[in-house]
Amino acid sequence: GFFWPVANAPKLNVANAGRNIPLMFRVTDSNGTPVKNLSSIEVTVTSPDCSLGLTPDAPKENTSGNSGLKYLGNGYYRFNWKTPKTYAHSCKTLILDLGDGIERTALFKFTR
C-alpha cells in the first residue's frame, strides 16, 4: 500500500486539484528483500460514484527512467503524481500497478 501522506482505500484523501501528490510505497520480493531496480509503474485514475460530480479521467501514466519515479533506498520509492486542475470538485480512484499483479488503490476527493 501507500505510506503517508496518502491513505490507502477505503480511507478518503482530500486534495487540491492541480497539485503534486507524493505517492510513497515499498517494494520487496517474496523473501522480504527490498527491490532496488523497479524501472516503471503504471498509474490509472477512474471516477467512482460521487456527489461532487464527474470530470474526465486523465490517460494512464506510465513511468520509466527519470520520469518522476525515485528510489529512496531499502525498497522505498516515491512518485510525484501531478493531478490535473480539471479534477476540481470530483472524486477519483487512483490505482498503482507495479507489474506484480497487485493493485494498490487510494481514494481522492478534490476540492478545488
Count of CB atoms situated within 10 Å of the CB of 70: 13
Report DSSP state, residue 85: G
pTM exceeds 0.95 for this model: no
Count Cβ atoms below 10 Å from residue 109 Cβ, excluding itself. 16
Confidence tier at 56 by pLDDT (50, 70, 90): low
Query: Which comes out higher in pLDDT, residue 21 or 53?
Result: 21
Q: What are the tens digits of pLDDT across the range 10-27?
A: 999 999 999 999 999 999
Q: Which residues, in sequence order, are CB contacts of 56 under 8 Å at separation 6+?
A: 86
Rounded to 10 degrees, the C-alpha dihedral 80/83/84/85 comes to -120
User: What average pLDDT does the segment 23-51 reach?
Assistant: 87
pLDDT at 94: 94
Are the C-beta atoms of 64 and 39 separated by less than 8 Å?
yes
